[in-house]
Amino acid sequence: MNDSFLLDGEDIPFTPGQTVMQAAAAAGKYIPHLCWHPDFAAHGSCKLCTVKIGGRFATSCTVRAAAGQEVENRTDELDAKRRTLLQLLFVEGNHFCPSCEKSGDCALQATAYEMGMLTPHFDHFYPDRPVDASHPDVLLEFNRCILCELCVRASREVDGKNVFALAGRGTRSHLVVNSDSGRLADTDFTASDRAAAVCPVGVILKKRLGFTVPIGARTYDLNPISAMGANAGQQADSRANAAHEKEVG
């Protein structure tokens, strides 16, 4: 007999060692998230995947599933908190969706739609974050960074390159590049790196491909992020990769 727990009243099977997020994703259930990705170890920083287990808040990407758990996920209370977290992420950076080439493929934007976020609500911080256009094939648009460290993890764990790291503290936390100059062009980064395709927002952008797929026909234009379960991020990845392959091939 499989172990199982209840997610919003629905029975979800799990194998020992799985997190609540992993089990939910395997069952095709959507728990909102930004820093989690099925291919990487959990980070637990964005807190969008906060659920309630037995009445207590828990981060579903780091908490282990246990038999008989009652997990609340898409409740008004939790979605309201997620909306606030999204608003905090929006005002902390410089996110101008209408002029962003990631629009439609951006998990932050798609999750905000899913949660019904209509305005940024808080005063904008307007941080000063210069872009890095030094690399021939990839642009770094730091204004949109949500500090999820997916690129850090991908570069370290898949590409074996350690191209990225987070530096600073608090709201001064920022992505840095592993070179003496701090420029991407001075690293061994390439557009075929996994780290080049894993950014959930519009920081790591492959040059000359921004509008290959027109707005309106993009990942989250076709389906809401909640309909894609765990594959949301991966589908956006693969679309970017396919476009890249078309370009180079």
Partner 1 sequence: MATAELEDILERHRRDPLRLLQILIELQARDGWLPPATLSAVATALGLPRARVESTASFYSFLHTHPAGDYRILFSDNITDRMLGNMALMQALCGKLWLEPGKVSEDGLVSVATTSCTGMCDQGPALLANGRTITRLAPERIDEMAHLIRRRVPVGDWPPEWFHVEDNIRRRDVLLDHGLAPGQALAVALDRGATSILGEIERSALRGRGGAGFGSDIKWRSCRDAWGDAHYVICNADEGEPGTFKDRVLLASYFDLVVDGMCIAGMAIGANKGFIYLRGEYRYLLDRLETRLAQRREQGLLGRNILGCGFTFDIEIHLGAGAYICGEESALIESLEGKPGKPRIRPPFPVTNGYRGQPTTVNNVETLALAALIAVRGGEWFRAIGTPASTGTKLLSVSGDVERPGIYEFPFGVTMAEVLDAAGACDTQAVTSAGAAGHCLAADEFGRRIAFEDVATGGSIMVFDASRDMFEVARNFAHFFAHESCGFCTPCRVGTAVNARLMDKLAADHGSPYDLDEMAKMHRLMQGASHCGLGNTATIAIDDIVAKFRPAFERRLHSPEYEPAFDLDAALSQARRMTGRDDPGAHLGDNLEALAEERAHARDAAKPAPSSAAESAPSKDLQP
Interacting residue ranges for partner 1, rule: CB under 8 A: 42, 44-48, 50, 56-57, 59, 62, 81, 84-85, 88-89, 91-92, 118-119, 121-123, 125, 146-147, 162-173, 176-180
Q: Comparing C-alpha atoms, which of 33, 38, 101 is closest to residue 240?
A: 101
The residue among 170 and 216 lying less far from partner 1, judged by its C-beta, is: 170
The smaller minimum CB distance to partner 1, of residues 48 and 240, is found at 48
Furthest-apart CA pair in the chain: how many Å? 57
CB of 212 to partner 1, least distance (A): 31
Least distance in angstroms from the C-beta of 60 to partner 1 = 12
Q: How far is the CB of 249 from partner 1 (least distance, A)?
A: 32
Specify the residue, 151 or 240, whose C-beta has the smaller distance to partner 1: 151
Q: Assign 3-class secondary structure to 146-192.
A: CCCCHHHHHHHHHCCCCCEEEECCHHHCEEEECCCCCCHHHCCCCCC
User: What tokens does 249 get?
Assistant: 């091939």
Least Å from the CB of residue 49 to partner 1: 10
The helix (run of H) or strand (run of E) holding residue 71 is strand 70-72
Name which of 85 and 232 has its Cβ closer to partner 1. Answer: 85
Q: In terms of CB distance, is 178 or 190 closer to partner 1?
A: 178
Residue 64 DSSP code = B
Measured CA angle at 222 (ends 237, 29), to 5 deg: 70
User: Where do we find the tokens 């390159």?
Assistant: 161
Give whichever of 90 and 220 is closer to partner 1, judged by the CB atom: 90
What is the arrangement of strands in the sheet containing 10-14, beginning at the earlier edge strand? 10-14, 3-7, 70-72, 50-53, 56-59
Instruction: Report in angstroms how near the CB of residue 71 gets to partner 1 at its nearest.
Output: 15
**9 Cβ contact list (under 8 Å, min separation 6):** none
What's the min distance (Å) between Cβ of 189 and partner 1? 12
